[in-house]
Structure 1
Amino acid sequence: MSEGPDGRLTVSVGRREFELLNREWADYVAATGAGASPVDPVLTLRRTGGVLRSLDRLLASIEREDSQAPSAAGAEPRE
């Protein structure tokens, strides 16, 4: 992780994982219809599961990159 100009931490995530999360989120939004029609609860749960799995993969991609980066000032990586 690196620090941005305003003191915030910045991270990198896998492009594939980020794109998959965006697709899963779009599928979820389409399935829930923003209240325009009755919601299919089974489809909504499936889409929710897809979003959560994609988010898990995205978070795992952060950990892999963080663990490969040299630690700042000799500090041990946090768990």
Structure 2
Amino acid sequence: MSEGPDGRLTLTVGRREFEQLNREWADYVAAASAGSSPVDPVLTLRRTGGVLRSLDLLLASIGREDRQAPSESEHRGSEHRG
């Protein structure tokens, strides 16, 4: 995570995971707002599960990037040792 210009924390997530979450969300919204026809509760629950799985993968993509990139303090510490 890094700090943006306005003091907010910013983070990076996987592009594929983010796109998948957007698709799953669109499917959920389509199933949950059926307009004039009744909402299918089973389909809505399935779409909810898809959103939750995609969100889990998105959150996991944050952790993968954090583990792959050394933190600034680790990087500075290795420079001082060398």
TM-score, with normalisation over the residues of structure 1?
A: 0.85
Greater shift after overlay, 32-41 or 12-21?
32-41
Task: Indicate the residue corresponding to 1:37 in structure 2.
Answer: 37
The percentage of counterpart residues that share the same residue type is 84
- Counting matched residue pairs gives 74
- Superposition map of 1:1-79 within 5 A: 1-33=1-33, 36-74=36-74
Q: Root-mean-square deviation (CA), in Å?
A: 1.4
C-alpha distance in 2 between matches for 1:34 and 1:70: 47
Deviation string, structure 1 residues 16-38 (Cα, Å, up to 9, x no partner): 00000000000000001165431
Deviation string, structure 1 residues 31-65 (Cα, Å, up to 9, x no partner): 01165431111000000000000000000000000
Q: Unaligned 5+ residue runs, structure 2?
A: 75-82
Task: Indicate the residue corresponding to 1:77 in structure 2.
Answer: none
C-alpha distance in 2 between matches for 1:27 and 1:36: 17
C-alpha distance in 2 between matches for 1:67 and 1:17: 17
Letter in 1 for 2:57: R
C-alpha distance in 1 between matches for 2:51 and 2:2: 27
**Greater Cα radius of gyration, structure 1 or 2:** 2
